[in-house]
């Protein structure tokens, strides 16, 4: 109980010392405030960017392999001339894989046409047109809010039906239920069979913004556009196990190489792209940004730490006589030590808390479509770093104060 009481007294002395020198306290914590703000702001923005991009990547499927002409390359060594002469994936190859793959949950063909005008009377909007096959909803979420998804008969017969995004539905059919109504696409009439839930703005939309998209059967898409550009993307959904995805990748590679007549020593004439590889590349990029945040903030924190240490030495000098009196009355060394340690940690924690508060206020700012969220982990990180800086800055002045000779300290002025 005596130890607890003395510890409490140390807290009280430290708090009184900070209150009695308010201007000095404020100036001392500025360095820590700026440093913690820089580090936590960078971490928070990086976390928000990474979360936004990974959510967008989830829209193109998990455990999915994309068979495409061009590889997804995330460095500066993109040798485009190697891939330029490759043949485009075709609908025949999609059917070939669909019939023969044993380790796939779903095989989908899709193609895109951007900035196409769709009309209903005097209402029109520029939309992304996506042609796809029946199992598209197995590799990517298609949350139909009104109406329904495609039927197999509609896909097989290449009927002029569409699932539209929320923006398309609201623009073409204001204040109406769009399901069952017609609109014109490329001079042809299409019937709306479904409307997707609104996703809202996103920093990055891989595969296009669903709110501004019309999904139609691949056969209907091919009749309009494949005479100009007969290429497609083939997406293959694997099973949940990572080992199964590796087997699927090997199976696709073997089948396509045989289909295209490639010899054993020839390179693949296609690319197998994986969204999780893109996610790993993005994570490595954000790791670099995180290190940059540490470097930027560390300079400010270093200056703030020296500032706190300097102020603590001044405090020890000012209160030398008081330290001598406390020791002559029986105060233990740890009691004196705790006074100055608590004061330094308090000072640093106040500065860190102000920096975290500034980051929290930053989260209310709208940076385009980026939603900034200050996570509990980043709050704890900021407070933890502040505590460490306070401890390191205050330990030496506190030791000097604790080791003073009481007689010499009382005689000092």
The answer to whether 192 and 169 are in contact (CB under 8 A) is yes
Q: Which of 121-130, 188-197, 247-256, 341-350 has the lowest mean pLDDT?
A: 341-350
Q: Using 50, 70 and 90 to split pLDDT, how confident is the model at 118?
A: very high
If one counts every other C-beta atom within 10 angstroms of the C-beta of residue 63, the result is 19
In this predicted structure, what is the pLDDT of residue 141? Answer: 82
pLDDT digits (tens, 9 = 90+) for 3-37: 566 555 656 665 666 666 666 667 767 777 888 88
DSSP string, 142-180: --EEEE----HHHHHTT-SEEEE-HHHHHHHSTTS--TT
∠ CA 309-314-320, nearest 5°, is 120
Contacts of residue 6, Cβ cutoff 8 Å, sequence gap at least 6: 331, 332, 334, 335, 338
In this predicted structure, what is the pLDDT of residue 131? Answer: 93
Q: Is 214 helix (H, G, I), strand (E, B) or coil?
A: strand
In this predicted structure, what is the pLDDT of residue 43? Answer: 82
In this predicted structure, what is the pLDDT of residue 216? Answer: 95
Q: What is the mean pLDDT of the segment spanning 373-392?
A: 87
In this predicted structure, what is the pLDDT of residue 215? Answer: 94
DSSP string, 218-236: HHHHHHHHTTT----EEEE
pLDDT digits (tens, 9 = 90+) for 183-213: 999 889 999 999 999 886 655 555 678 889 9
Does the structure show a pLDDT above 90 at 350? no
User: CA-CA distance, 26 to 44, in Å (whole number)?
Assistant: 25
Q: What is the mean pLDDT of the segment spanning 100-129?
A: 90
Among 336, 351, 338, 339, which residue's Cα sits nearest to residue 305? 351
Q: Which residue has the higher pLDDT, 37 or 160?
A: 160
Element (H, E) at 276: helix 275-318
Q: Using 50, 70 and 90 to split pLDDT, how confident is the model at 38?
A: confident
In this predicted structure, what is the pLDDT of residue 347? Answer: 79
Does the structure show a pLDDT above 90 at 147? yes
Angle separating helix axes 2-20 and 22-58, nearest 10 degrees: 100
In this predicted structure, what is the pLDDT of residue 17? Answer: 61
> What is the model's pTM?
0.66
DSSP string, 4-45: HHHHHHHHHHHHHHHHHTHHHHHHHHHHHHHHHHHHHHHHHH
**Torsion angle defined by CA atoms of residues 267, 269, 270 and 271, in that order, rounded to the nearest 10 degrees:** 30
Q: Which two tokens stand for residue 112?
A: 């895109």
Q: What is the mean pLDDT of the segment spanning 85-94?
A: 88
Q: Which of 152-156, 179-183, 260-264, 309-313 has the lowest mean pLDDT?
A: 309-313
Q: Using 50, 70 and 90 to split pLDDT, how confident is the model at 126?
A: very high
pLDDT digits (tens, 9 = 90+) for 283-342: 777 777 778 777 777 777 787 788 788 777 877 777 778 778 777 777 777 777 877 787
Among 112, 133, 135, which residue's Cα sits nearest to residue 210? 112
Element (H, E) at 66: strand 64-68
């Amino acid at each position: 109980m005596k130890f607890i009481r003395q510890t409490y007294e140390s807290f009280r002395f430290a708090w009184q010392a900070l209150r009695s020198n308010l201007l000095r306290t404020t100036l001392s914590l500025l360095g820590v405030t700026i440093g913690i703000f820089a580090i936590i702001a960078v971490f928070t923005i990086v976390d928000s960017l990474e979360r936004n991009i990974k959510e967008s990547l989830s829209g193109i499927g998990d455990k999915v392999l994309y068979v495409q002409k061009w590889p997804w390359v995330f460095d500066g060594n993109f040798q485009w001339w190697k891939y330029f002469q490759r043949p485009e994936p075709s609908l025949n190859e999609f059917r070939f894989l669909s019939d023969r793959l044993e380790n796939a949950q779903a095989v989908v063909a899709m193609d895109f046409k951007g900035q196409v005008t769709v009309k209903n009377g005097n209402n029109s909007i520029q939309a992304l047109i996506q042609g796809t096959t029946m199992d598209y909803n197995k590799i990517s979420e298609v949350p139909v809010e009104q109406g329904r998804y495609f039927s197999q008969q509609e896909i097989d017969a290449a009927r002029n039906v569409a699932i539209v995004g929320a923006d398309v539905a609201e623009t073409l059919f204001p204040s109406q239920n769009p399901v069952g109504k017609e609109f014109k696409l490329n001079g042809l009439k299409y019937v709306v069979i479904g409307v997707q839930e609104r996703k809202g703005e996103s920093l990055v939309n891989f595969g296009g913004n669903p709110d501004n998209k019309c999904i139609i059967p691949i056969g209907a898409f091919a009749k309009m556009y494949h005479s100009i550009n007969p290429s497609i993307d083939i997406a293959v959904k694997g099973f949940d196990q990572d080992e199964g995805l590796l087997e699927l990748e090997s199976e696709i590679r073997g089948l396509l190489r045989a289909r295209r007549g490639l010899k054993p020593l020839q390179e693949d004439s296609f690319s197998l792209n994986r969204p999780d590889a893109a996610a790993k590349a993005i994570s490595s990029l954000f790791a670099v940004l995180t290190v940059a945040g540490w470097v930027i903030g560390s300079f400010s924190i270093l200056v703030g730490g020296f500032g706190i240490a300097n102020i603590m030495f001044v405090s020890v000098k000012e209160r030398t006589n008081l330290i001598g009196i406390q020791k002559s009355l029986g105060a233990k060394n740890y009691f004196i030590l705790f006074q100055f340690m608590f004061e330094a940690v308090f000072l640093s924690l106040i500065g860190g808390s102000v920096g975290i508060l500034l980051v929290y206020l930053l989260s209310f700012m709208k940076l385009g479509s980026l939603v900034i969220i200050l996570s509990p982990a980043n709050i704890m990180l900021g407070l933890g770093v502040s505590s460490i800086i306070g401890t390191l800055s205050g330990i030496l002045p506190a030791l000097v104060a604790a080791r003073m000779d009481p007689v010499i300290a009382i005689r000092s002025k």
